[in-house]
Structure 1
């Protein structure tokens, strides 16, 4: 399993890649903090996420809370099917801002 990585592309979209699991999300949460210090709305693209579990979904929920506290809009693009299934089972699929 590869570590999770955040990279902002030229359009301002934050691309998430690697594994979003229990062993990786704490470091990813810390790495994401600078994005929540601005005023711009945030878009996270999860197309390159290789594997995820409920910790990955918890990370998305925490990012939503951080965006709300900082007054920023947030959306998630290309969420992996594995994560969508976890969201459906947990009842979170209706609150995730998926585009």
Structure 2
């Protein structure tokens, strides 16, 4: 099980693989660097994510914190369906809804 974060351009990246407690720490700093280098908005495509846990939600929350601190709007495309129940049970729907619009 692994995860990768690929820069598409200055404002876009693709996250792929398994978002588990053992994997997310490897992409956390790379995502923060990409967010800080973005201009205005950073879009994360999650279409290639195949496995998630609450650690994946924690990763997105950390990247949201980083984006907010840097004045960058975070946008998430293709949030995995199996991540939505974790977000709901954590009472984070209202926080994530604007990121998905």
Give TM-score, length-normalised by structure 1: 0.90
Residue ranges of structure 1 left out of the alignment (5+ in a row) = none
- Whole-angstrom CA distance in 1 between matches of 2:95 and 2:59: 14
Are residues 10 and 32 of structure 1, via their aligned partners in 2, closer, same or farther at CA, if it must alter by over 3 Å? closer
- Whole-angstrom CA distance in 2 between matches of 1:36 and 1:75: 11
Q: CA RMSD in A?
A: 1.5
Show the counterpart of 1:90: 90
Aligned residue runs from structure 1 range 41-80, under 5 A: 41-80=41-80
- Whole-angstrom CA distance in 2 between matches of 1:80 and 1:36: 21
Shift of 1:39: 4.5
Aligned residue runs from structure 1 range 17-56, under 5 A: 17-40=16-39, 41-56=41-56
**Contact preservation (8 Å) 1:18, 1:50:** yes
- Whole-angstrom CA distance in 2 between matches of 1:15 and 1:69: 21
Paired residues in the alignment total 98
Structure with a larger share of its residues in helix: 2
Give TM-score, length-normalised by structure 2: 0.88
Are residues 33 and 10 of structure 1, via their aligned partners in 2, closer, same or farther at CA, if it must alter by over 3 Å? closer
**Contact preservation (8 Å) 1:6, 1:31:** yes
Task: List structure 1 segments (4+ residues) > 4 angstroms apart after TM superposition.
Answer: none
